[in-house]
Amino acid sequence: MGFGFPIFLWFLPLAGLPVIFHLMMRRRQKRMEFPSVMFFLKADPRMHSKRRIRELLLLLTRILIILVLLLTLARPSLKSVPGIGGQLAVAIVVDNSASMDGQGDRNHTKLELAVIAARDLVDALGEDSRGAIIPLVPDKAIDVPLELSGDKDRLKDFIDRVRRTEARAEPANAFARIRSVFDDAPDGMGRAVHVFTDLHQAAWDHAGYDHNIFDEQIDVVFHRLESPERTGANATIESIKAPQQLMLPGHTYDIEVTIANNSENSAEVRINYEDSLGATSSERVPLEAGTSELMRYPFTPDEPGAHWMMIGIEGDAFRSDNRAGIGFICKTGAEVHFAGERPEYGLFPQAISPTGTGRYTSLRPIYKDTHEMMNFANEDAGRPAMIVSTWRRLGEFTEEQTRTLQNYLHDGGRLFVVPSVEAYTTSPPAPPDWIGASPLQYRSPGELVVAHILDSESDIWQGLRDDDGNVALRYFLMDRFSELEVDEESYNLLAGIGRRRPILARRNFGEGRIFVSGMAFDRDWTAFATDPSGIMVVMLHNIAIAGTSVIRGPENIGVAAGEEIGGIAGPHEPIRIDSLIGDTLNVTFPPGIRPSVARAGAYLLHKGDRTYSLSVRAAPEEAMQKYVEGEKLPFLGDTPHHIAHLSPSRDFRRSLERHFVGLSLFLPLALLLVALWALEGWLATTHKKRSRKIAHGNTDLIEKEPAAAERRKSA
């Protein structure tokens, strides 16, 4: 017998109250003397016997009312006794988190042992019982329906489909799914939960379970799988990141990967790299205990569309935290806005795009009159990767255009200011003061002037370095130029005729950058424009591509496997996830559901008209060898549960027999209580009427007897 609210059993002694009241209120007998007993009739013994029986029945009924009331409130139910009930709904939870891929006993992984034990439990189910298979980590890549079934072969097939993930478990999610299964169970069927797990701390050693998720008593049993101490070092991928900018085909981007050794032993692992273009590479990386290494992998997308990269670790002691994927979407191209006409800029536009269409470089030059400049109104769709202006055109900008330009630069844009190719004899209008630079008098000395690269460490020379990291070009010649007057505290000098005579400089402005030049990029001005190394082309592309950060590209979301994906803006709309590399997924989640992915890979997430790049890495905390000890789980708090060590000699039939079958006695007891109440009312009413009748009868006899005696005397 089991009780839903056993606290009421403590009040059972209250059933003795009617006995106490009966003894206290029983009439006391009084002795009265009469001169003669001739006025009394002989009492009928049967009358007193019936009265006593009614009083005892009334007392017993009141005792039973209190007992049945307390038992009804205690919500009793019958256990699995043969011939009484015997139906049971069992939720069989198999822990498929990453930690379960660790070594268990008998040359099996812990997950393999859990699968074997879960199959044995299915075999032990009774004929009237049903089971439901619930992977602890939701896994959309496998087809395991959330339903109760009495078909044991079907249940064991579901168990065999469960496979390892690279995720951390979220038990609260699993218990919510258990509740939904039990809601579909027939009334009168017992409920029990059997969890096969290693009780890893990452999942179970924290609060978070809604203790009100079950509104009836349910047996929860944990079958703990032992976790032998793992030897050897372990490395994991802590993070993988792509540049947060619009990515264009034909340009190289660095993917940053952080590899960490979270063990107490030194490691030497192999890092394997693969991308969507078919490129692969492998390198050995030594890692001291407790250290991490930042690595960069270049990627050059060849065409617009979705691309991916996978990074894997080989050669450590735990494999389920060794992978990470990243996806990114390349757009067709970006615009570079030129203020004025094309002839003003010499070879600059050709370096941006040889055909002017962006066919080879994904950068398309757009020419605008001065009054048309800055009319994109800070909208992402109209923002260019870079704005190019001559000093004269810049001085003609209106105040409103200047404010828009400042906002554009603050957000990460790029501004490049150069002299017009057409020689000018008068000084151009002064640029805005916040630019912090202006050209001096134009010069054409009639002989070549040598200009040197002053800052070879700048990122604008990326792709032009030799094996020693030096820029291939050390100096260049100029026919014409205009020295620059710059704020030396704000500007970094990139090239010049010595340190005091800058020709090319750069400054930061908010998140963006301003580049100023005292030479036009044309063959009549400088050999820099036609150098065989292509230094001008590479430099301008580096600047323009860096400017694409001001243009919002598809957002990249990075999560660990099993982690719910949040931070997606927009109304409640369905979410669809498609795989690029990793699990084969094409799954749509209803509105309001926060999805998760069980394994590392690169995916596309679609919500409404927005597309996100989803990067999933293995959960690194699953490699920690920390497990919950003792007989209680912090996750479940005060919820009754039992932890049993999973042994080869397990007997699941006996375990199942100890569960409640759910044959509740509440309704029968409630009906019995109503019947007893009615009986008590009838007995009490009958007892009172009988007492009054006897009292009135005796009075009449006493009143009539003196008259009869007088008649006998006179006779």
pLDDT at 341 over 60: yes
Cβ atoms within 10 Å of 600's Cβ, excluding its own = 30
d(CA 176, CA 180): 6
Pairwise CA distance, residues 715 & 713, whole Å: 5
- Domain 236-331+554-623 maps to which CATH number in 2.60.40.10, 3.20.20.370, 2.60.120.480, 3.40.50.620? 2.60.40.10
Burial of 153 (0-12, 13-18, 19+ CB in 10 A): exposed
Q: Mean pLDDT lowest for which of 368-372, 390-394, 568-572? A: 568-572
Integer CA distances (angstroms), 54 to 538, 576, 672, 681, in order: 111, 76, 20, 12
Beta-bridge partner residues of 681: none
* Cβ burial, residue 127 (10 Å; 0-12/13-18/19+): exposed
Pick the residue with more confidence: 457 or 244? 457
Give the SS3 label for residue 369: coil
Distance between CA atoms of 196 and 111, rounded to whole angstroms? 9
Are the C-beta atoms of residues 404 and 378 closer than 8 Å to each other?
yes
**Is the pLDDT higher at 623 or at 464?**
623
**Range from 507-516, 585-594, 597-606 carrying the lowest mean pLDDT:** 585-594
**In which element (H, E) is residue 478 found?**
strand 475-478
Q: What is the pLDDT of residue 26?
A: 60
pLDDT reading at 216 higher than 70: no
Average pLDDT over residues 84-101: 85
Which of 602, 618, 619 has its CA nearest to residue 554?
A: 602
Query: Which residues 6+ apart lie within 8 Å of 231 measured at CB?
Result: 317
pLDDT grade, residue 672 (50/70/90)? Answer: confident
Say if residues 644 and 71 touch (Cβ distance below 8 Å).
no
pLDDT, position 25: 64
For residue 195 the two structure tokens come to 């969890």
Which one has a higher pLDDT value, 670 or 502? 502
Mean pLDDT in residue range 432-453: 91
Q: Please say if the pLDDT value at position 654 is more than 70.
A: no
Cβ atoms within 10 Å of 555's Cβ, excluding its own = 16
Percent of the chain past pLDDT 70, that is, above it, reads 85
Please report, for residues 246, 391, 414, 553, 581, the alpha-carbon distance to residue 380 in angstroms, rounded to integers and kept in the order given: 11, 26, 14, 9, 29
Tell me, yes or no, if the pTM score tops 0.75.
Answer: no
User: Which of the four pLDDT bands, split at 50, 70 and 90, describes residue 81?
Assistant: very low
CA–CA dist 578, 308 (Å, integer)? 13
Tokens of 130: 């049903």
pLDDT range class, residue 80, cuts 50, 70, 90: very low
**pLDDT at residue 332 is higher than 80:** yes
Rounded CA-CA distance 282/312 in Å is 9
HSE of 608 in the Cβ direction (CA atoms, 13 Å)? 8
Per-residue confidence band for 441, with pLDDT thresholds at 50, 70 and 90: confident
For residue 330, what are its two tokens?
Answer: 């390349």
What pLDDT score was predicted for residue 380? 55
Structure tokens at 552: 């919002």
Q: 238-276 burial, b if ≥16 CB within 10 A, otherwise e? A: bbbebbebbbbbbbebebebebbbbbeeebebebbbbbb
Q: Which residue has the higher pLDDT, 664 or 674?
A: 674
- Which strands sit side by side in the sheet containing 512-517, from one edge to the other? 363-368, 334-339, 386-390, 414-418, 512-517, 502-509, 491-496, 449-453, 475-478
Per the CATH hierarchy, to which homologous superfamily does domain 88-229+633-658 belong? von Willebrand factor, type A domain (3.40.50.410)
HEC states along 10-40? HHHHHHHHHHHHHHHHCCCCCCCCCCCCCCC
Residue 254 in contact with residue 243, Cβ under 8 Å? Answer: yes
Q: Report the C-alpha gap between 627 and 393 in whole angstroms.
A: 69
CATH of 334-531, one of 3.40.50.880, 3.30.300.30, 3.30.950.10, 3.10.20.90: 3.40.50.880
Structure tokens at 417: 């200011």
> Residue 42 and residue 515: Cα distance in Å, rounded?
132
242-300 pLDDT per residue, tens: 887 888 898 888 899 999 998 888 989 999 999 999 999 999 999 999 999 999 999 99
Supply angle C-alpha 336, 341, 344, rounded to 5.
95
Q: What is the pLDDT of residues 485-503, one digit of tens each?
A: 999 899 999 999 988 899 9
Residue 563, Cβ density class (10 Å: 0-12 exposed, 13-18 middle, ≥19 buried): middle
Predicted pLDDT at 79: 53
Strands 437-439 and 449-453: unpaired
Q: Are 409 and 506 spatial neighbours (Cβ–Cβ below 8 Å)?
A: no
Cα 437 to Cα 514: distance, rounded to the nearest angstrom: 10
Nearest to 412, CA basis, from 556, 248, 245: 245
Sign of CA dihedral 471, 476, 481, 482: positive
Report the half-sphere exposure of 197 (CA within 13 A, side-chain side).
31
Q: What is the DSSP letter of 380?
A: G
List, as one string, the DSSP characters of 202-233.
HHHSS----TTS-SS--EEEEEEPP-PPP-S-
Distance CA 565, CA 585 (A): 15
pLDDT band at 214 (very low <50, low <70, confident <90, very high): low
pLDDT in tens, 613-643: 999 999 999 989 899 888 888 778 777 788 8
Please give the DSSP secondary-structure letter assigned to residue 596: -
Helical pair 45-73 and 666-714, crossing angle rounded to 10 deg: 160
**CA distances (Å), 63 to each of 12, 54, 498, 652, 687, in order?**
10, 14, 110, 42, 17
Q: How far apart are CA 452 and CA 441, in angstroms?
A: 20
In the structure encoding, which two tokens stand for residue 260, read together? 């960490």
Q: What is the rounded distance in angstroms from the CA atom of residue 369 to the CA atom of residue 604?
A: 40
End-to-end CA distance of the chain: 79
Give the distance, in angstroms, between the CA of residue 648 and the centroid of all CA atoms in the same chain.
Answer: 36
Cα–Cα dist 74/666, whole Å: 9
How far, in Å, CA of 174 to CA of 160, rounded? 19
Rounded CA-CA distance 313/316 in Å is 8
Structure tokens at 138: 């939701």
Of residues 623, 688, 705, 667, the one with CA closest to residue 234: 623
